[in-house]
Structure 1
C-alpha cells in the first residue's frame, strides 16, 4: 500500500492490485483501413443535425486530383474507425517554394464536417473537437498523425501552398485498433432483420470502445467509467468473452480507493493509473455489480476473494448515507449519476440501486460464506420495508423521489430492477409508466437499457422489443454505424454539454442491444 495525496483527495494505492491489472493489459489488434469514397456534405433539414453525406467519387480517384489554396474535400471511411491517420502527399507543378499548410477536420458524423468548430460554445473543453493544422516543409512526405482519433469522416482543407505548385494526396489510411477479436463472436442469424442489424452495430460499438481498458467513448473522455464498464462487461460476456479485460478494469478501480475505501467513478490509465476526483453513489456501488456479474460469468473465486473487501466497503459507505428512516439523504450536488435527464431527482432511483447491489453483495457473501452476509440480509430487509413505506405513493401508484415527491421514469425502472415489488406488481407498474408517461423522462441509451431490461424482467418482452426498435432502431434510421452517447427521438439536437458537436457517436453505454438480444432471446 502507498498513500498518494492529491489536491482534493487522498488515494490509498494498492500496488499489488495495480500490478495484477498491468499483467492483464490486452494485446491490441491492428487493421489497415482505407477510405471508401469522396463525399459532399449537404444541408438537409430532414436528417439529424441537418447534414448528410453524398458520395461524389470513389476514394481511389483521389490520387488523380490536384489541390491548391482554398480547395477542400471530405473522405468517408465507410464505417466508424478508432486509430491513427497516415497521409502521403506529393507536389505537382513547379518545385514547392513554400510550405503546405493543411487543416484536417476529423469527425464521426457529417455535422462535424459542416459546422465550424470555431462556433462551438459548449461547456466541455473544445480541445475534444478533433482537428489538426499541419505545416509540411518538404514534399513528397508521409505524415503520420500522433494522436488517436475516433471517426468516419476526414475533411481536408488546403489552407495554402503557393501559386507555383499544387498537391496530390496519393494515399490516406487509418491504422485501426481494438482489443476485441470479432472472430471469437458467435454470429447470430436473427429472423428479425432490424434486431440483426442492432446486434451488429452493438458489436462494432463495443469493439471500438475496447482498447487498453473498456473506454466509455473513443472520441471523448477515452477513459474507464464504472457505470459504462458494468454494461460493457455484460455485453462482452455474451459476445467477445474477453473476460480478462473486465478483470483488469476491476483491479484498476480496486487499486486506487480513497482513504475511506471508496472507489472513484472513473480512472485515467495514461501515463499511469490515476483516480479521478469524481465520486458518485451509484457508480461506486456498481463495483459490487460488476464483480458479481464477472464472478457469475467466470467462477473466478480467487478474484472474488481478493476484491470482496473493496466491494463490501462500497456498501458500507453507501449505508452511511441513509437517514433514521433508512431512506437516502438527498442533496442538490452531483452525488449520484442515474441519467443526464434535466431536473431528475436522484434519491429514489439511487435507493433502488442500493437495494439492487445489496442483493448482489449478499449472493457474493453466500459464495464466500463470510460473516457479513447476515448483517447485509438484515439491513436489506429494513431498507426494502422503508422504501415501500416512504417512497411508494399509493394514490399515484408510483414511487416518488425527493422533497417534491417527483415521479420519474428512472425511479420506477430502478425499483423494478431492484425487485422491491413482485413480478406481477412490476408488470403493472411498467404498464402504468408507459401509459402515464411522466414528464421527467429518459435522456440516454444508458437509462434506455434499464427501461428495456425492466420490461423484460416484468414479463413484457414484446414491449421491450418495441422500445428497442423505437430507440436504437431510431438511431439506425438516423445513420448510426455505431451507437451514440445521447439520443432523444423528440429532440435530436439534445446535448447535456451545450452542443451536439461534442457528443460522442460511439459510446460504451449504448452497446447493450447485443446483450439484451442474446441474453434474453429477443
Structure 2
C-alpha cells in the first residue's frame, strides 16, 4: 500500500511559515527588544480644582475633560474644551485625578484652523500647591521649592494639530496646564493621566470594625504598590531609586499584600550587584545591614532555599566585614552613618541605633547560617553577638533609638515604651515609626500602638493623603490646609512650608514606600499572623484586638492564601476561625 505524507508536510510547512511571520516584530529588533512588565491604563480627571477665569473667556466647556474618552480623535471639532489666550492673559486649568498615581499625561488636541503646534506648560503635583508652584529654589521651603530632580514635573511642550501627545513619568495627583502662546485657541478633547503599575492581585486583606484602620491598611498597601515599578523604589516622584534600607518595611508590606513578587529579588540583587565589597550599599553602612535582615525575613516568608543559597558568598563576606568593624563589642561602622532623617546629625543616637542594628543583623546572619548549615558563619555571628550584647548604649530619650534597642534586646520593652509613648505621636516618623510600633507590641502595648497608627498615619488621611509620605511632623497638622485644596489665607501649607534635609518644601515625596509599615503591623499583630518556620510552613495565630470587636483578613503564602477571622465574645474572649492552605500548619 502506498502512503503519502504530502498533506502532513504541507501542514507543517505552513505552520512554520506562520510561526516565522508571528515573530516578524521581534525579529525586526533582534536583541534590542525588552518587554515591559508594567501595565498602562488611562485615568480621566475627577474634578477641576481651579481655572484662570470664571467667565468662560479664556477657558470654555471645561467639563468635557471630565467625561470619558476612548482615545480616538475625530475630524469634528465640536464640543471641545477651549483654552484661549491673548496679549493680556493666558488660559490655565488645574485638574485633580482623585488619587496619587505614577506615570504621565496624554493630551488629545482637536482640529483647529491653524496647524502650527501650540506651546503649553505642564506642572505635575502630588499636592495642589506643588502643581501651582515654580521650580526655583528647593533649598528653602515655600511655593518656589518644587524640583525637577529625578523626574520632570514642570516642563513645556508643543501640542500637535489634531493629534495626541504623551509625556511625563512622575508621581502626581494634580496637573496644571498653562497656554503659553499668545493669541491662540487650543481645542482639547481630553487630558488623561497615564497610569503605570504592576497589574497584580491584592491577595492580602484586612478588615475590622474601625474604618479608619481599614483605610490606613489600604493606603499603606497602595503606597508600596505604586513603588513596585521595574524595581522597588523609595518614592515615585523622588528619588525613584533602590535604597536598600528603605526596602525593609517595603518588602514586608509587599509580602503581606501581594505575596512573592519578582520585584523584591530583582531589587535586592541590584543592591548586591552594584555594591562590590568593601563598599556599603548606597554608601550607607546600615543599608547593608538591612540587606541581611531582609534576606532573613524574606526566607521566613517565602522559603526559597536556592535563592538564599545564592546569597551565601556575598553575605558571608559582608558579615565578616561587619564583624571587622566591631571593637570590644562596640560598633564602629564607617561609610555613611544613617538611621532615618529625623535622627540625622545626632551622633549619639545614631551610634545607639547602629549598635542595635548590628545585633539584629548578626541575629539574622545566625538564622541564615543555620538554614544553610554553614557552621563557620554561624560561629562568626554567635561570637560577635556575645560581645555586642555586652554594650548597653543609652537611648538618649530618642524614640528611634529606644525602639531599635528594645528589638535588639538591649533595652527592656517597658523602658522603650516609656520613651516611645511620651507626647504621643510627637517625634514619630513614617520610616522608623514601624519599628516603634514593633517595640510597643513587644511590650504588649497593642492598644497604644493602634492609637498611634490612627493618630499619626490617620492625620495624613485627614489632610487629603491617598498615599503615605516621606516624613510627617505630627505637630504641623495644627492649622494645616489639606493637600487637595488651594491653601486658604491664614492656613499652614503642610507641603510647601514643611520638610527638612533632602525633602524641603515641595521636594518632599508624598508617596514613599517606607511609610507602609502599618499595613504589615496590623496584619501581624491585630490579625495575629506570625510566621514561625521558613516558607510559612508554620504560622501562629495570636490576635490582639484591643478595643476592636472583630478583625478578619487574608495572608498570602507560597502554599496559598490563609484566611482568619477573630470575633470578641461577650465575656471578652476571642473566637477565632481560619482556613489554611495545604502545607501550612496553624498553631494558636
Alignment TM class, shorter chain as reference: 0.7 to 0.9
User: For the residues of structure 2 that align with 1:100 and 1:414, how far apart are their CA atoms?
Assistant: 56
Q: Which residue of 1 aligns with 2:104?
A: 84
Aligned residue among 195, 203, 228 for 1:185: 203
After superposition, residues 120-519 of structure 1 pair within 5 angstroms as 120-122=138-140, 126-128=148-150, 130-136=153-159, 138-145=160-167, 147-162=168-183, 165-181=184-200, 183-260=201-278, 262-265=279-282, 279-323=283-327, 325-329=328-332, 334-345=336-347, 346-371=350-375, 372-385=377-390, 387-388=391-392, 391=393, 399-400=394-395, 406-421=396-411, 425-435=412-422, 442=427, 444-491=429-476, 492=494, 493-497=498-502, 499-519=504-524
Deviates more, 1:489-498 or 1:341-350: 489-498
Alpha-carbon distance, 1:294 to partner: 1.1
1:498/1:85 Cα in 2 relative to 1: closer, same or farther (>3 Å)?
closer
1:98/1:456 Cα in 2 relative to 1: closer, same or farther (>3 Å)?
same
Give TM-score scaled by structure 1 length.
0.78
Structure 2: any 5+ residue segments left out of the alignment?
1-33, 53-61, 69-78, 477-493, 527-544, 546-588
Structure 1: any 5+ residue segments left out of the alignment?
1-23, 43-55, 266-278, 392-398, 401-405
Alpha-carbon distance, 1:117 to partner: 2.3
The answer to whether the aligner puts 1:29 opposite 2:34 as a matched pair is no
Q: Is the 8 A contact 1:41 1:113 kept in 2?
A: no
Find the structure with the greater CA-based Rg. 2
Q: Comparing both structures, which one devotes a greater share of its residues to helix? A: 1
Q: Is the 8 A contact 2:402 2:416 kept in 1?
A: yes
Q: Is the 8 A contact 2:398 2:419 kept in 1?
A: no
1:82/1:305 Cα in 2 relative to 1: closer, same or farther (>3 Å)?
same
Provide, for residues 384-426 of structure 1, a one-character-per-residue CA deviation record: whole Å limited to 9, x for no partner.
01x13xx2xxxxxxx24xxxxx4422221110111224xxx31
After superposition, residues 4-83 of structure 1 pair within 5 angstroms as 27-40=37-50, 59-60=65-66, 64-69=80-85, 70-83=90-103
User: For the residues of structure 1 that align with 2:104 and 2:138, how far apart are their CA atoms?
Assistant: 25
1:117/1:436 Cα in 2 relative to 1: closer, same or farther (>3 Å)?
closer
Q: Residue 232 of structure 1 aligns to a residue in which SS?
A: helix
Alpha-carbon distance, 1:124 to partner: 9.6
1:124/1:450 Cα in 2 relative to 1: closer, same or farther (>3 Å)?
farther
User: For the residues of structure 2 that align with 1:170 and 1:353, how far apart are their CA atoms?
Assistant: 55
1:461/1:86 Cα in 2 relative to 1: closer, same or farther (>3 Å)?
same
Alpha-carbon distance, 1:330 to partner: 7.4
User: For the residues of structure 1 that align with 2:499 and 2:417, how far apart are their CA atoms?
Assistant: 26
Report the number of matched residues.
443
User: For the residues of structure 2 that align with 1:482 and 1:177, how far apart are their CA atoms?
Assistant: 16
Q: Is the 8 A contact 2:340 2:432 kept in 1?
A: yes
Give TM-score scaled by structure 2 length.
0.70
User: For the residues of structure 1 that align with 2:423 and 2:509, how far apart are their CA atoms?
Assistant: 31
Alpha-carbon distance, 1:27 to partner: 2.3
Q: Is the 8 A contact 1:103 1:157 kept in 2?
A: yes
User: For the residues of structure 2 that align with 1:72 and 1:26, how far apart are their CA atoms?
Assistant: 34
Provide, for residues 122-148 of structure 1, a one-character-per-residue CA deviation record: whole Å limited to 9, x for no partner.
599643461120124x51221111x31
User: For the residues of structure 2 that align with 1:433 and 1:171, how far apart are their CA atoms?
Assistant: 50
Q: Residue 335 of structure 1 aligns to a residue in which SS?
A: coil
Alpha-carbon distance, 1:378 to partner: 1.9
